[in-house]
Amino acid sequence: MNGRLRGRCSCTRSSSLGARARTRAHCITHCRRCLSSPLRRRLHRAAAFPAQWSEHGGPGAGLPPNYKCFFDSNKYRIIGYEQRGCGRSTPIADTLNNDTWSNVEDIEALRTHLSIPKFLLFGGSWGSTLALLYALKYTPRVTGLIVRGVFLARQEDRDWFLSPNGCAAQLFPEYYRKFTKDVPKPVTSNSVCDFYSAMVRSSNDVLRHSALKRWYQWEERLSRITLPPGVGDSTTNYPMQLVTCLATLECHFLSNQCFLDENYILENISKISHIPGTIVHGRYDMICKTEAAEALHKAWPQSQLQIIPDAGHSTSEPSIGYALCRATRDMSRFIQESSK
């Protein structure tokens, strides 16, 4: 494999147990502290602590600092990792050998490495996509799912976010006009992806940085119903590593139809019809369609749907956070009762 990929995972049963990791060229992550026999014995003894696997969004967002806050560490063994090319995984923003199914296989490689027989998958936005795809391929390994801000990776989902006829563009026309002002006409979701995919790889640093920031500003404006002062403003000092990873990898995946056949998830959802799941979705989510959450719920008999009436896409919105905390609490009870 050309290009060395390094990854970072965080495996904890409490906030004091961190873990550094490396992902080699074939993306099998080696978590040094998880390899220690005392910790392994401790984790295997903790039968009352179901393993929970966190999938972050993007692609390219990396794990937020507070990703463990939705879980009671006295009830879960919490595991998080940063996907290829983002966060603390290296090379940063690398698209080589970086596709959807490779990321799914990374989850399985880590599960095998950590000797986890089954786990609960927790993912938001793009993380919900990966969680669902993993469950479809490795169904016996999944005890349940909690997904938030559902992204099914259909053309209509990409159009919702990027098309001039999408809800995001219709609700935020002035932001969309700025976002697409240099995109060749006619503007479509595909032409937006193609334009930005080229610009974020430009050898001209001024053009490249401008494109990266504009993509990031568009997503930031859509992420919440209300933004803190200065957020989404062109004068803001942006964390350039996050901006670069998010814009580059989102363009890469979206311009390649997320490396999935159209409507793949819904057409295969019957494979996990028996697995319990909770779907949390903000009513005013401008990045991921509320209809996607409804369609997933209708096709998935064991799912529960919670549409949050006063929220958009982000977990930073209090009502989304509360709903996720309730979901993890309820799922923990369900798993414990089912194991009796």
Q: Exactly one of 10, 54, 89, 125 is catalytic; name it.
A: 125
Q: Which residues contact 126 (CB under 8 A, 6 or more apart)?
A: 55, 56, 57, 58, 59, 61, 151, 253
Examine the residue annotation and report whether 313 is marked as an active-site residue of this protein. yes
Q: Is 116 helix (H, G, I), strand (E, B) or coil?
A: coil
Q: Exactly one of 106, 313, 314, 332 is catalytic; name it.
A: 313
| Residue 29 in this model has a pLDDT that exceeds 60 | no
CA-angle at 96, arms to 123 and 196, nearest 5°: 75
Mean of all residue pLDDT scores within the chain: 83
Going from the N-terminus, what domains does the chain have, and what CATH number goes with each?
8-153+262-338 (3.40.50.1820), 155-259 (no CATH)
Examine the residue annotation and report whether 285 is marked as an active-site residue of this protein. yes
Strands 77-82, 8-12: pairing is antiparallel
Q: Which amino acid is at 3?
A: G
Arithmetic mean of pLDDT, 176-190: 94
Better-scored residue on pLDDT, 316 or 49: 316
Q: 3-state secondary structure string, 315-328? A: CCCHHHHHHHHHHH
Residue 37 exposure: Cα atoms within 13 Å on the Cβ side: 0
pTM of the model: 0.85
Better-scored residue on pLDDT, 284 or 225: 284
Q: What is the distance between the alpha carbons of residues 265 and 42, in angstroms, rounded to a whole number?
A: 36
pLDDT computed for residue 187 by the predictor: 95
**Buried b vs exposed e over 294-303: b needs ≥16 C-beta within 10 Å?**
ebbbeebeeb
Q: What is the pLDDT of residues 98-143, one digit of tens each?
A: 999 999 999 999 999 999 999 999 999 999 999 999 999 999 999 9
| Residue 229 in this model has a pLDDT that exceeds 70 | no
Residue 271: CB atoms within 10 A of its CB come to 11
Q: Exactly one of 128, 157, 285, 332 is catalytic; name it.
A: 285
pLDDT computed for residue 49 by the predictor: 56
pLDDT computed for residue 339 by the predictor: 72
Give how far the C-alpha of residue 244 lies from the chain's centroid of Cα atoms, to the nearest Å: 16
Q: What is the distance between the alpha carbons of residues 47 and 194, in angstroms, rounded to a whole number?
A: 49
pLDDT computed for residue 336 by the predictor: 77
Question: Among the ranges 5-9, 233-237, 305-309, which has the highest mean pLDDT value?
Answer: 305-309
Per-position DSSP letters for 273-340, written without gaps between them: TTS-EEEEEETT-SSS-HHHHHHHHHH-TTEEEEEETT--S-TTSHHHHHHHHHHHHHHHHHHHHHT-
